Structure 1
């Protein structure tokens, strides 16, 4: 048995200082998702959403949220954040590229994308951020099939008065929770209309409704 001796410091040697690693993609992605979860929880209407992190990411869900005490509908979010802006002067642009296999491309009324620029100086998302339905991203964002993979490029102006195609989906970070609540309530209303009037607007799968003869 032998032991490794620690390095000997001579009079000429400088202090042994470990190199500081730069911010990794994994670190940034994880804490960007945490910041979005904070917006969903603390944004107005405050406390209306319960936010969870899926145990697996097979369905490309970074976060899920549902209306408090409403368990049937869940809002899924794919978070796409960046700490770099493109363009100079008064025309900064947010740009985020991502790749997905065609068979993993999910489109659903309750599956949306969050795009946001994280300012590392303030450690918060800068307005505007973009909350976009999945089918809109898949249709309107620049994309091409290459090498069996779909390559997407989302690019939007950060100017407050921009009139680009992503402006309807732009909002202040504090407004994200309200938009998610609105989307959930709209889907809940649509499902109630499909089921029809009754003591329970939403029914369990396999339930048979028997209507009384007129």
Structure 2
């Protein structure tokens, strides 16, 4: 799919072009998620990355292992939009996110749960936690807390959560996570199918 960008690399124009593409593609549907995308500056969470590259339809690697293999990235905008529409976060909700990465997704969710809501985002890598904290602070996301920890274990001390969102794929639904989901809550988890493809869904607690 060919990406058309404004001739002038103005962040506001790039962001509006991104929103328009996501609406046209059916990835953005609700007013609340569209508004969050319009006010959250994706490029602020990708310092050092070319401005236009921050707004194209592609994932952006943010960390590699010693062999050069990517181990963390900021997902393509369409994936982020689709999962946030599935999540259905609302004002006042408590949300747990597994996979802080740059903090961009958590910032979007933070917009959705205002006023009165809060987001806790977890990551197992201290350097990613530090980066996400810095990015979120600069973005003024005061209702997001970044925590060093295993997303599969969750944060039982802050449970129950109205919404739980995994931004990383999993082969199964961690039982500990389901136990931290509030009655009537929603879990969005990208499931790895036979170790290859990924499908994002909303399994209901049993």
Superposition TM-score, scaled by structure 1 size: 0.28
Higher RCO (C-alpha 8 Å, min separation 6)? 1
Task: Give 1 or 2 for the bigger CA radius of gyration.
Answer: 1
